[in-house]
Amino acid sequence: MGVRTLADTSVGDTIEARTIPVGRDSLVAYANASGDQNPIHQDEEFATSVGLPDVIAHGMWTMGAAGSVVEEWAGDGGRVVEFGTRFTKPVVVPQGGGAVEVAGVVKSVDEATRRATVELTVTSGGDKVLGRCLAVVLLD
Amino acid sequence: MAVNADFVGRTYPPSGPYAVTAEGLAAFASAVGSTDPVHTSSEAARAAGYADVIAPPTFAVTIAQQCDAVFVQDPEAGIDYSRVVHGEQRFVHHRPITAGDEVLGTLTVDSVRAAGGHSMVTTRTELTTTDGAALCTSTSTIVIRGGE
C-alpha cells in the first residue's frame, strides 16, 4: 500500500475499528523498549498496593498502539507529523490480558498544506481511555 | 507538598547526546504493534525517501522522558514521583528521528498549576540533532495527585 494521497482523502473518511490485544508480556516489551520500568505496569501486587485495580498499561503504550493504526492508514509512519492526546482512564491488563479498540475519522483536510487531521477513538472495556486524540497526517 | 512554581519558564542546558539505533527503533516499533517497514528495513526506509530507518510517531517520548529527569527528580521542584500520572502528551515532528541521529534535548518548564487538589506540570522538550537540525517538539503534562 502506498502513501495516502490528498485526492483519496475526504472529511468523514473512517479508519475501521480494530481490537488490539495487550498482555502483561506486551507491557514488559514496552517497558524494555521505552525505558519506563514503573512497576505499576508489570507487578500486580505493587499496582494494587498503590490503589490501582490491577496492572495498567503505560499510557504511552496505548498512544503508541493508536499511532501504529494511524501510520498504517497514512501508508508511511513518517507522515504522522503531529500527534497528541489526553490520558483519560487507565487500560487495565489482568493476568489473562486486556484489549483496546481503536477507530478513527478524518475531521479536516487542509488542501494548501496537504494535511489531514484524524481523530481517534480509543476505548478499553467500553471506557474511553484517550481523549482528544488527534493526529495530523501529511498526504502525498 | 506543592510543586515549586518558581521553576516556570526555566530552560535547562541541553542534555544528551542520545544515540538513536536501528535496534532501538525496531524494538520500540514492535512494542507498539507497528508493522510499517520504514522502522525496520533500511531498504524500505530509503525507498520512502529517508536516510535510514525512522522512529514511530511516539518514540520521541523515550528521549524526552530522559531529559525531564533533571527537573522531576530535583528535590527543589517538589514533585512526588510516586504520585505522578501522565495527563497529556503531544508531538510535533519537524523531521523523522532517524537511526544514526545523535539527539540533544532542551527542556523548558512551561507551566505549573493547581486543579482540584492536584498539581499539573507541563514541560516541553525540543529535540534536535547535535548539528542543530530540529527533530521534534514533545510537550508533556504530568498530574501529581493530591491526597493524604
Q: Is the omega angle on the peptide bond into residue B56 within 30 degrees of 0, that is, cis?
A: no
Give the three cell numbers for residue B76.
Answer: 527543589
Is the Cβ of A60 closer than 8 Å to some Cβ of chain B? yes
CA distance B136 to B76: 28
Q: In chain B, which stretches have pLDDT less than 50?
A: none
CA distance B116 to A110: 38
Comparing CB atoms, the residue among A3, A84, A135 nearest residue B89 is: A84
Comparing CB atoms, the residue among B30, B66, B139 nearest residue A29 is: B30
Provide the 3-class DSSP secondary structure of residue B31.
helix
pLDDT the model gives residue B1? 60
Q: Could you give the ipTM of this predicted complex?
A: 0.97
For residues B83-109, one letter each, b for 16 or more C-beta atoms within 10 angstroms of the residue's C-beta and e for the rest, the string is bbebbbbbbbbebbbbbebebbbbbbb
**Residue of B32, B61, B68, B144 to mutate, interface with A, max A Cβ within 10 Å:** B32
Q: Is this prediction's pTM over 0.90?
A: yes
The model's pLDDT over A1-18, given as tens digits with 9 standing for 90+, comes to 689 999 999 999 999 999
Residues of B in contact with A46 (CB under 8 A): none
Provide the 3-class DSSP secondary structure of residue B148.
coil
The size of the A-B interface in CB pairs under 8 A is: 113
Contact A50 B82 (CB under 8 A): yes
Residues of B in contact with A24 (CB under 8 A): none
The model's pLDDT over B38-47, given as tens digits with 9 standing for 90+, comes to 999 999 999 9
Q: Which residues, 6 or more positions from A82, have their beta carbon under 8 angstroms from its beta carbon?
A: A134, A135, A136, B90, B91, B92, B93
- Of A86, A31, A85, nearest in space to A57 by CA: A31
**A100 neighbors A90 (Cβ within 8 angstroms):** no
Q: Extract the runs of DSSP E, i.e. beta strands, from chain B.
A: 15-19, 84-93, 102-115, 118-129, 134-144
pLDDT the model gives residue A50? 87
Contact B57 A35 (CB under 8 A): no
Is the Cβ of A11 closer than 8 Å to some Cβ of chain B? no
Is the Cβ of A72 closer than 8 Å to some Cβ of chain B? yes
When the pLDDT of each residue in chain A is averaged and rounded to a whole number, the result is 97
The model's pLDDT over A59-103, given as tens digits with 9 standing for 90+, comes to 999 999 999 999 999 999 999 999 999 999 999 999 999 999 999
CA distance B89 to B13: 22
**B65 neighbors B138 (Cβ within 8 angstroms):** no
Residues of A in contact with B32 (CB under 8 A): 30, 61, 64-65, 67-68
- A72, A77, A80, A81: CA torsion to nearest 10: -170
**A120 neighbors A71 (Cβ within 8 angstroms):** no
Is the Cβ of A63 closer than 8 Å to some Cβ of chain B? yes
